[in-house]
Amino acid sequence: MTDTLIDRRDLAFQLYEVLDTESLIPRDRFSEHNKDTFDAVIETADKMAREEFATHNSAADKDEPRFEDGQVKMLPQVKKAFDAYSEAGFIAGRYDYELGGMQLPESVMAACNGFFTAANPGTAGYPFLTTAAANLIRIFGNGQQQATFLPHMLTGRFTGTMALTEPHAGSSLADIRTSATPTEDGHYLIKGAKIYISGGEQSLTENIVHMVLAKIKGAPAGVKGISLFIVPKFRVDAEGNPEERNGVSLAGLIHKMGYRGTTSTALSFGDDAPCHGYLVGEPHQGLKYMFQMMNEARLGVGFGAAVIGYRGYMHSLEYAKDRLQGRKPSEKNPDSPQVPIIEHADVRRMLLAQKAYSEGGLALCLYGARLVDDQNTHPDEQKRVEAGKLLDLLTPVMKAWPSEYGPKANDLAIQVYGGAGYTREYPVEQCWRDNRLNPIHEGTNGIQALDLLGRKIWQDQSHGLQLLMQEMQVDLEAATTERCQQWALSLSETLQQAVKVTQSLGKSLMGGNNPDAVLANASCYLHLFGHITVAWMWLRQANVAAKALESASSNEERNFYNGKLQAAQYFFHWELPTVAQDLVLLRNQDDTCLNMQADWF
Ligand SMILES: Cc1cc2nc3c(=O)[nH]c(=O)nc-3n(C[C@H](O)[C@H](O)[C@H](O)COP(=O)(O)OP(=O)(O)OC[C@H]3O[C@@H](n4cnc5c(N)ncnc54)[C@H](O)[C@@H]3O)c2cc1C
């Protein structure tokens, strides 16, 4: 079992050689940072993740939280890790110095959080949700709400949750029923039920701040009638100190296949006692607020999926170097020593696929984090706007591609271990179970596909798509070695076919054809678009690696860059061609699934 969570050499390559993260340093917001401070914080995250988080990953999976004597019982190591994360300042890592933050770029914070998720996704869930909930209050809350809740959330005294889903309304938030009734005291009375709320009850902190979607009585129907409320477990005084219990209570803990360390809860609001909620921003704008935060949350899910995939890859790579089994087909002497399984081409296939998926997913999500940095801090306003458009377009891909291929990587890690992979004595089956959540939450991948093909592609007269193609063009032209040029050519040809098919789908959609027919194969489109985007990520890495290889001075460095080039080759030879089927199905607007009848099953 390895304790490597994410290969530091790879992370440095992606951050500094591919993304040029140092170019952020001259920006005002990061002026007090330099490469040493970035590296120091990454080093702290890696070390803390290994020492405080990874050490109880398996224990928390085996001994999941229980509800006993009116309390949620959790392993004490979870609180120790949560406190260490908070005390190191990671919850507020991105925030202004005035808020106690470190003003770190998203690129660096995303990398740091990658270590915690790779080490222990269940425990990492609590601080990550707290950052997300605090972000909503920081951006959309009023001054009093910010002063009351933020200091306690950012220091880890309180945690936060995101309470959207209801038993009858998951993908379709338009249909939520939780209600909010205004009172003369300025607060609202919340009534309803939520389900699957992560971290909805725990024994880590004094208070929990739920960010709840609800409909104010008389609100418009559908998503236009949804508002956002702060609902604390304990009501608070003006300084935010917890006072009496609020009427939100645990209706039950949900038992899951993975991510077991994070409590999954059914919550009831206003059943046993009045439940006070405080409106955030304007009435009926709640889903808009949530969606403004979604880009980052969805990027976080994609990132998590990529690094859990990465973790399984690291485990199986080490195992494959140690495990002796069989001989090469060309070795006829049964007395010759057995070889480590990494010597078998089929095992290398499984390792290369994992490398291509997890390093490709990591590259994609780090690129997304860089877009967040550019959107927030690029000195040129036009570049800020463009980064926002690219981020918006790519969000469904950044959420869905790693969450599809991260579990695939984990599946291959199990296969590399053989029988051992299927047992609970080895860590890779837990990676797969944990990662299997990622295609489901934060909008299922089916919903991401509809978002991409039904909305994002056409937004702003497809300006985002044009920007993406310009970005790709830069790297297509930067391919100088023969290998990279071959890959650039196949990417460019696939891209042209994808553009054609996009135009024909656009014509059908705009021409008033039945949108059900066009969107029926949205998942194929997401696969096509995702594979093209990740192929681009591999070309970017290959271009840098090919150049660096020319001047690499040690064997270690040459091995590293050759590994990058071979993984790029794997992606271009084995993966990109799989989109041919998507192109055919999309071009023909294949109606097999659309026309299947429920009664025919
Ligand atoms: C472990 C875990 C943690 C979670 N944490 C939270 C949390 O903290 N806060 C929170 O609010 N929620 C949370 N969720 C809920 C999660 O976001 C939902 O499960 C998810 O949005 C899907 O909703 P659903 O489960 O109701 O599935 P459904 O919406 O019933 O979907 C079932 C299937 O139908 C498909 N489908 C649905 N509608 C369409 C459509 N229009 N077109 C095509 N296909 C469609 C879906 O893609 C899916 O395959 C969590 C869930 C889990 C399992």
Q: Whose CA is nearest to atom 4 of ligand 1?
A: 196
Q: Long-range contacts: 180-185, Cβ < 8 Å, 24+? A: 180/214, 180/215, 180/216, 180/217, 180/227, 180/229, 180/277, 180/279, 181/216, 181/217, 182/216, 182/217
Q: What is the pLDDT of residue 224?
A: 94
pLDDT digits (tens, 9 = 90+) for 198-242: 999 999 999 999 999 999 999 999 999 999 999 999 999 999 999
Residue 186 identity:
G
Length of the chain equals 601
Q: Is residue 447 lining ligand 1, measured as CB closer than 6 Å?
A: yes
Q: Whose CA is nearest to atom 38 of ligand 1?
A: 171
- Positions in the chain whose pLDDT score sits under 50: none
Q: What is the pLDDT of residue 143?
A: 97
Q: What is the pLDDT of residue 510?
A: 86
Q: Is residue 536 lining ligand 1, measured as CB closer than 6 Å?
A: no
Q: What is the pLDDT of residue 23?
A: 98
Q: How far apart, in Å, do the first and last CA atoms of the chain sit?
A: 45
One-character DSSP codes across 223-270: GGGEEEEEEESEEE-TT--EEEEPSEEEEEE---SS-TTS-EEEEEES
Task: Report whether 240 contacts 134 (CB < 8 A).
Answer: no
Q: What is the pLDDT of residue 211?
A: 97
Q: Is residue 256 lining ligand 1, measured as CB closer than 6 Å?
A: yes
Annotated active-site residue in 64, 201, 442, 575? 442
Q: What is the pLDDT of residue 26?
A: 97
Say how many Å lie between the CA of residue 406 and the centre of ligand 1.
19
H helix or E strand, kind and range, residue 162: strand 158-163
Whether residue 429 lies in the annotated active site: no
Q: Whose CA is nearest to atom 25 of ligand 1?
A: 170
Q: Is residue 437 lining ligand 1, measured as CB closer than 6 Å?
A: yes
- Closest ligand 1 atom, residue 259 Cα: 1
Say how many Å lie between the CA of residue 118 and the centre of ligand 1.
23
- Closest ligand 1 atom, residue 164 Cα: 11
Q: What is the pLDDT of residue 292?
A: 75
Averaged pLDDT score across all residues of the chain: 97
Residue 314 identity:
M
Q: Is residue 53 lining ligand 1, measured as CB closer than 6 Å?
A: no
Q: Is residue 198 lining ligand 1, measured as CB closer than 6 Å?
A: yes
Q: Is residue 197 lining ligand 1, measured as CB closer than 6 Å?
A: yes
CA separation for the pair 321, 352 (Å, rounded): 14
The contacts of residue 290 (CB under 8 Å, 6+ apart) are 136, 162, 164, 213, 228
Q: What is the pLDDT of residue 5?
A: 97
